[in-house]
Structure 1
Amino acid sequence: MILRDIKFVLEFNPNKYISEIRKVMKEKKLNEEHATQFYYKDKFQDKAVQIRDESRCISDLYISCLGKYHTSETKEIIIHLVDELSEASLINVDGFMEVQIIFNLEQYISLTNHQKNQMLLNIIQRATKSVGDIFEWEYQPFQEAYNKVIEKNYENNYVWKKKVSPGRKYIAEVFCMHEINEYLIYMIVKDYRDKNELKRELLHRVSPHEFMFAPYLGDLKWLSDDSVALIGENPRRQWAVNV
């Protein structure tokens, strides 16, 4: 197996919010179970989605810097962000390794985007170290990946695909900027000979989660000598740029 992904899950601890839940029980005339569900959807669910989405940038960058790390134990690490550790803080099932890390939600929310990325990277470092100790992994590749992310200043920018025009006059590139709170997709056209940038057009600005941006990344195709299009996963969806 190859370690292909690291995901974050913000865990909800009802005991931490029991006083608020009891207020809901009184105001909405609900039992504890239904009041807990109401409180989660009303006050906590958006925060869980925020953590899930905002962590995708740094997780993707870290895995990219790590490269193809082969393991016999797991293909994905799922980091559960918790208030307190349970007895079974490390669980490995069918190639999915679940690890618990103590997390301060209020502190995270107060940080700048750059500080959030730093915090998330350090959590990844702690999680991979915990998993690596259990499975006796060579840890140097993980340390190198950590260092590379810092060297890149936590910026996850890359050319997704490039293609030369039929007349070999231009090069088109789909350039992606995976930021903590958004994913930007640009079409860049360069001169084939000197590689000077001739045009840059923002095609899409979407959520940083791959479920939102992946449908836009199907193919790159020149429609003519001076018109190029980004093709979606659904080939009927195309976004053309004229040079």
Structure 2
Amino acid sequence: MTEADISLYYENKWKPKRVLFRDQVRCIASMYTYLLGRFQTERTEKITINCVEKTNDNALVKTTLDGFTKVSVELDIDSYFLLSNYEKKRVILEKINGGVTKVANEFSWDIELFNRISYEIIKNDYVNEYVWKQKTSPDKKFKAEVYCQHDIDFFTISIL
């Protein structure tokens, strides 16, 4: 087997799954970050939650020199893709909570805020719909707003 064979396997087998997973996660991840708002911390700029088949307990939370924090959570990606869209949202929130909790414990953050965010998402039945912005026409006669619906497999924008 040559390097080209490995490259083809990566591009044809693994990359499409990763891209699809990344796109599906955005539904709940964007809702989570919206509800979180601006979270001030001196210890990190950004948290990246890596979903892996098996975590290494010795490397739970790592902060890089540029201030980004990486944490790993376990996920069986093949089982994930067999779930209904609703169950996928539930699993995504569970993985976000798992990663954020690890970082919160490492940095001694109060996890109550993160618990409230999860509660809000569950209370909204994992539905991510919102009005983006209301705009007024230059002559002030008309008003319109952008209504967004973000789900696992679609993102719809409507002007009302």
**Does the alignment reach a TM-score above 0.5?**
yes
- 1:107 alignment partner, one of 79, 82, 93: 79
Q: Does 1:68 align with 2:75?
A: no
TM-fit CA distance, 1:183: 1.2
Mark the structure with the bigger radius of gyration. Answer: 1
Q: Residues 146-185 of structure 1: matches in 2 within 5 Å?
A: 146-165=118-137, 168-185=140-157
Match of residue 60 from structure 2: 89
**Counterpart residue number, 1:98:** 70
Structure 1 stretches of 5 or more lacking a match?
A: 1-29, 189-243
- 1:136 paired residue number: 108
Code of the aligned partner of 1:83: E
Q: Give the whole-Å Cα distance in 2 for the aligned partners of 1:85 and 1:34.
A: 29
For 2:130 and 2:72, the matched residues in 1 are separated by: 31
Q: Describe the superposition over 1:129-174 as per-residue Cα deviations: whole angstroms up to 9, x where unpaired.
A: 1000100001100000010111111111111111234565432111
Partner of 1:126: 98
Higher relative contact order by CA 8 Å / sep ≥ 6: 1 or 2?
2
Question: Any idea what the Cα deviations from partners look like across 1:192-223, whole Å, max 9, x if unmatched?
Answer: xxxxxxxxxxxxxxxxxxxxxxxxxxxxxxxx
List alignment gaps of at least 5 residues for structure 2.
none
User: What is the match of residue 34 of structure 1?
Assistant: 4
Q: Which residue of 1 aligns with 2:29?
A: 59
Partner of 2:48: 78
Q: 1: distance between equivalents of 2:128 and 2:67?
A: 26
Structure 1 range deviating more: 157-166 or 75-84: 157-166
The within-5 A match list for 1:202-241 is none
Q: How much has 1:35 moved relative to structure 2?
A: 2.5
Asked if structure 1 preserves the Cα contact closer than 8 Å seen for 2:61 and 2:106, the reply is no
1:79 is paired with a residue of what secondary structure?
A: strand
Q: Give the Cα–Cα distance (whole angstroms) in 1 for the partners of residues 26 and 8 of structure 2.
A: 27
- Offset from partner CA, 1:103-149 (integer Å, 9 cap, x none): 11111000011110100000011111100010000110000001011
CA RMSD of aligned residues (A): 1.5
Distance, in Å, in 1 between the alignment partners of 2:52 and 2:6 is 17
CA contact (8 A) 1:66 1:144 kept: no
Q: Within 2, Cα distance between the matches of 1:81 and 1:165?
A: 45
